[in-house]
Structure 1
């Protein structure tokens, strides 16, 4: 018998708004990737949360910004002799990155206030969304904290701060997407599988949390690899030079810091944690075959398998071809898509598990 579907959540417009915020954060992460890959992140040396939205309007404005950039270690040690026109090409990516971040803040804050006035949130939802707003403000500060690390001695930003900036963006995306699913979800009055079947999705749900942890760990090591320019060394696969494990790992002291400070070690851990994640996705797929899951869960699992396989291929190509910008950006975008599908799958499995518990207790 086909289960009847009832919409218990009337806040569909709230869910659409949150999905828009997710899409904007997705674009923000991609712009951040372009900014990093084009080495544009240190072109703006001041942090002006309000007035920084106004771009240079005349030649005098451009010369002032260029003079500030000429005082940075990056210009002095790497870009000495850069022309004003060349400076403009890196300036715009950093400007767009910061402008888009401010725009996300407005797109989140204004509807949040309006929906709150209309009492569209439960107390717990209001607290969660307000926390997300505060986290977004913190993310802006972390972004400046990251840039500041490359303005005094270093010619690039700290890999620790860059990875923190990336993980905070990932956390914001995940929290907002989870809330969007909650507002948009349809609640079936009956489960989509037999109540008395021996295998319920509770264990599969637990495994999905493990996969979320693994992909977050993979992305974390991707941040360190990017921050250390680890993709520019050992452009071979599966070996790194003549050996499986790069020699730099064994000789770095203290060794436990090697994955976070040695480019070769960071790449090594990134690639093999990613492959470990891929293996677990395949195991997850095999285990899921014994469950009578909903159509949506089956589609999400198949999508997860495809995206993970595609991600491994992109990662290998990124290394073999020495980090071409186009491939690296697709690699980054696909990682976020994989993370999104995994969050969606986790939400779907959790909903089905709760339905099973309720129907079993009836």
Structure 2
């Protein structure tokens, strides 16, 4: 039994020193390879961003229907002989796009669109491989931080679903009188790509800071600003889907005057198709009108969110919302130029990449509202 110490007893040199509590107990034994996983996710992010750009170019070059079969494994090998090329070309000649639009196309012309689509699909395989090697490698080494296994596995599930949706989209243009894929399927395919990109970006932001830091930062969260930026994120997503509908039917090349459409505020014959619901997906005038109006409303709401963001006490948060407003203005100007010049592929692809940049900047600002970067009183 330890000897009782007197109230005023002097502490001598023989008094055992007490061990100070170690910091970082929240992250103890569950930190994992946060830095390495974050780097892996950043590689995936870059690949998905390139994939979106390549997908847009595939659409703009009318290459998406050049491969008429879905072969996830064997399709990685392109035609290696003259006979194989003739076989692929013969399959393409059986679909409406060739018979109604590209009849008489030469084999060399077919090869140019074939390589675009093959590259698009090949990049998808590369993304799947990078994900699988990274995920199962970290999982086997038991280096995934606690609570992150399901999140990282979910990215792979969404990637697999994206491949299936891609074929579902392509299949819509292989029969009937379709010259292109169904616009609503194209919107689904692009929308899912942005969802995947959004999850990856959010995970990259989260892994860039320690769990204890995030828990402390959340106490300073600006709830109203976070909710408003969430609404802006959803609104931007809707605008991206409408943009996909425009691209799906080449509506961007139908009305090249701005701010009017064919000399009026409302486009002519907006409900000319039967049944009426088809006009919201296939009527070029109405689809472009919806995209324009949503763009104006998105810009207006973006300004409202920016005004709220500039009142933040954190300079980092204010800077991020400034970046969102700047990109909103740039994206709106790119949209106007795209329309006025009848959507040349160089400008159209810049507009699509601009949507990716805006999407990530909104996510970045939203993350700052949720987990503010603390600054000193002087700062």
The two structures share one fold, judged by TM-score above 0.5? yes
- The alignment status of 1:326 with 2:350, answered yes or no, reads no
- The alignment status of 1:140 with 2:160, answered yes or no, reads no
Equivalent in 120, 139, 156 of residue 180 of structure 2: 156
The 1-side partners of 2:222 and 2:275 are apart by 43
In the other structure, the counterpart of 2:282 is 261
- The alignment status of 1:111 with 2:134, answered yes or no, reads yes
In the other structure, the counterpart of 1:179 is 203
The 2-side partners of 1:30 and 1:277 are apart by 23
In the other structure, the counterpart of 2:15 is none
How far does residue 35 in structure 1 lie from its aligned partner after superposition? 0.3
DSSP 3-state at the match of 1:352: coil
Equivalent in 323, 328, 331 of residue 308 of structure 1: 328
User: Are residues 214 and 189 of structure 1, via their aligned partners in 2, closer, same or farther at CA, if it must alter by over 3 Å?
Assistant: closer
CA contact (8 A) 2:186 2:244 kept: yes
The 2-side partners of 1:250 and 1:318 are apart by 24
The 2-side partners of 1:23 and 1:118 are apart by 25
In the other structure, the counterpart of 2:362 is 342
In the other structure, the counterpart of 1:290 is 311
How far does residue 247 in structure 1 lie from its aligned partner after superposition? 2.7
Greater relative contact order (CA < 8 Å, ≥ 6 in sequence): 1
Equivalent in 233, 237, 246 of residue 216 of structure 1: 237
In the other structure, the counterpart of 1:359 is none
Which structure's residues are more often helix, by fraction? 1
CA contact (8 A) 1:191 1:352 kept: no
The 2-side partners of 1:29 and 1:325 are apart by 14
Report Cα offsets for 1:107-148 as digits up to 9, x if no partner: 011110011122233463211222221111111011111111
Structure with max Cα Rg: 2
- The alignment status of 1:100 with 2:120, answered yes or no, reads no
The unaligned stretches of length 5 or more in structure 2 are: 1-23
The 2-side partners of 1:176 and 1:15 are apart by 9
How far does residue 290 in structure 1 lie from its aligned partner after superposition? 2.2
The 2-side partners of 1:255 and 1:81 are apart by 36
Which stretch of the first structure deviates more once superposed, 8-17 or 163-172?
A: 8-17
Tell me the TM-score normalized by structure 2: 0.85
In the other structure, the counterpart of 2:247 is 226
Report Cα offsets for 1:6-34 as digits up to 9, x if no partner: 89655111011011101100000000000
The unaligned stretches of length 5 or more in structure 1 are: 1-5, 357-362
DSSP 3-state at the match of 2:367: helix
CA contact (8 A) 2:63 2:114 kept: yes
The 2-side partners of 1:341 and 1:75 are apart by 41
The 2-side partners of 1:275 and 1:13 are apart by 41
DSSP 3-state at the match of 2:372: helix
CA contact (8 A) 1:249 1:255 kept: no
Report Cα offsets for 1:241-293 as digits up to 9, x if no partner: 12211133255555455322211111111111112111111122222232212
In the other structure, the counterpart of 2:191 is 167
DSSP 3-state at the match of 1:249: coil
User: Are residues 254 and 60 of structure 1, via their aligned partners in 2, closer, same or farther at CA, if it must alter by over 3 Å?
Assistant: closer
Which stretch of the first structure deviates more once superposed, 277-286 or 320-329?
A: 277-286
What does 1:43-54 align with in structure 2 at a 5 Å threshold? 43-54=66-77
In the other structure, the counterpart of 2:143 is 120
Which stretch of the first structure deviates more once superposed, 341-350 or 88-97?
A: 341-350
Equivalent in 52, 60, 69 of residue 37 of structure 1: 60
- The alignment status of 1:205 with 2:235, answered yes or no, reads no
User: Are residues 301 and 71 of structure 1, via their aligned partners in 2, closer, same or farther at CA, if it must alter by over 3 Å?
Assistant: same
User: Are residues 98 and 285 of structure 1, via their aligned partners in 2, closer, same or farther at CA, if it must alter by over 3 Å?
Assistant: same
Report Cα offsets for 1:36-83 as digits up to 9, x if no partner: 000000100111101111112121211111111111111111111100
The 2-side partners of 1:50 and 1:71 are apart by 24
The 1-side partners of 2:51 and 2:355 are apart by 14
In the other structure, the counterpart of 1:248 is 269
